[in-house]
């Protein structure tokens, strides 16, 4: 049971990490395109995050990120419970 929980947690965390890195790089690319700066500052970056959080075009992507985040947290909790339970 421990091995199954661990593998599931690793797989879901890998998917979450891939999605988050893809999102971060996409938002950086949008900030570069919008500002024309090679290294957009924190204000430009935060503006892109705000746009991503509010724009209806990204609703599906936001839901996927939220669901994967919840899954990572839930699986991590379940894995910790399986380690503390009887062997």
Is the separation of the CB atoms in 31 and 45 below 8 Å?
Answer: yes
Q: How many CB atoms lie within 10 A of CB 72?
A: 17
Which residue numbers in the chain have pLDDT < 70? 1, 85-87
Query: In angstroms, rounded to a whole number, what is the distance separating the alpha carbons of residues 74 and 79?
Result: 9
pLDDT of residue 22: 95
Q: What is the pTM assigned to this prediction?
A: 0.79
pLDDT of residue 7: 87
């Amino acid at each position: 049971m421990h091995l199954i929980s661990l593998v599931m947690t690793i797989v879901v965390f890998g998917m979450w990490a891939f999605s988050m890195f893809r999102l971060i790089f996409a938002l950086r690319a949008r900030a570069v395109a919008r500002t024309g700066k090679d290294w957009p500052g924190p204000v430009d970056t935060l503006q892109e995050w705000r746009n991503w959080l509010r724009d209806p075009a990204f609703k599906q992507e936001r839901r996927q990120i939220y669901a994967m985040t919840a899954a990572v947290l839930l699986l991590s909790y379940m894995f910790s419970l399986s380690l503390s339970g009887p062997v």
